[in-house]
Amino acid sequence: MKYIIALDQGTTSSRAVLFDEHADIKGIVQQEFRQIFPQPGWVEHDPHEILSTQRMVLEKLIQTHNVDASSIAAIGITNQRETTLLWDKKTGEPLYNAIVWQDKRTAPLCEALKAEGLENHVRERTGLVIDSYFSATKIKWILDAVPNARERAKRGEIAFGTVDTWLIWNLTNRKVHATDYSNASRTMLFDIHTLTWDKTMLAALDIPESILPEVKPSSHHFGNWTHNGVDIPLAGVAGDQQAALFGQACFSPGMAKNTYGTGCFMLMNTGTKIQQSRNGLITTIAWGLDGKVEYALEGSVFIAGAAVQWLRDSLHLIDQSKDSEYFAAKALGSNDVYVVPAFAGLGAPYWDMYARGAIFGLTRDTGKDHIIKATLESLAYQTKDILNAMQEDAGLTLASLKVDGGACANNILMQFQSDILGTEVERPEIIESTALGAAYLAGIQVGLWKKESITSNRKIQKRFTPQMDEATRVRLYKGWTKAVERTKGWVD
Residue numbers in the known binding site for ADP are 11, 15, 262, 305, 406, 410
Closest CA to 410 of 437, 386, 376: 376
- The reply to whether omega before 233 is within 30° of 0 (cis) is no
Q: What is the DSSP string of 190-215?
A: EETTTTEE-HHHHHHHT--GGGSPEE
Binding-site members are 11-13, 15, 81-82, 133, 240-241, 262, 305, 309, 406, 410
Report the chain's terminal Cα–Cα distance, integer Å.
59
Binding-site members for ATP are 11-13, 262, 305, 309, 406
Binding-site members for sn-glycerol 3-phosphate are 11, 81-82, 133, 240
- C-alpha pair distances (Å), 264 with each of 169, 300, 418: 28, 6, 16
Say if strands 460-464 and 424-428 run parallel, antiparallel, or are unpaired: antiparallel
What is the rounded distance in angstroms from the CA atom of residue 273 to the CA atom of residue 62? 40
Residue 458 is classified by DSSP as -
Strands annotated E in 251-380: 256-260, 264-271, 282-289, 292-301, 338-340, 358-360
Binding-site members for glycerol are 81-82, 133, 240-241
Exposure string of 377-396, with b = 16+ CB inside 10 Å and e = fewer, is: bbbbbbbbbbbebbbebbeb
Closest CA to 61 of 20, 15, 22: 15
Helix axes of 411-421 and 470-487: crossing angle, nearest 10 degrees: 100
**If residue 98 lies in a helix (H) or strand (E), which one and from where to where?**
strand 98-99
